[in-house]
Amino acid sequence: MANHKSSKKRIIRNANRAMINGARMGRIRTFVKKVEIAIAARDAESARVALRQAQPELQRGVSRGILHKNTVSRKISRLSARVKALSV
């Protein structure tokens, strides 16, 4: 257990940030899951719409410091390729 006042404050702040970041990650996962469900259903139009909605959420995760930019870039690239393959 922390002894310094600043350490105790840091523990509280870290717990609060973990809750906020967890909620943000959950939101991002939900948007990505919507794209994957549409891909699994072979519905090209709804997959395209879902991907268009998921992209800014993923980018917001980068700007908030939850996800690494290369991770998001890779995810968007792979999802885009899968959505594009549906329309062919």
Q: Which of 81, 58, 57 is nearest to 70 (CA)?
A: 58
CATH for the 5-87 domain, from 1.20.58.110, 1.10.1200.10, 3.90.1150.10, 1.10.30.50: 1.20.58.110
Task: Answer yes or no: are the C-beta atoms of 29 and 72 closer than 8 Å.
Answer: no
In this model, does residue 1 exceed pLDDT 90?
A: no
Residue 22 is predicted with a pLDDT of: 97
The domains of the chain are located at: 5-87
Indicate the pLDDT class of residue 7, thresholds 50, 70 and 90: very high
Confidence (pLDDT) at 88: 75
| pLDDT tier at 87, thresholds 50, 70, 90 | confident
Question: What are the angstrom distances between the C-alpha of 76 and each of 50, 54, 64?
Answer: 12, 9, 17
**The pLDDT of residue 2 is above 90:** no
Encode pLDDT of 18-74 as tens digits: 999 999 999 999 999 999 999 999 999 999 999 999 999 999 999 999 999 999 999
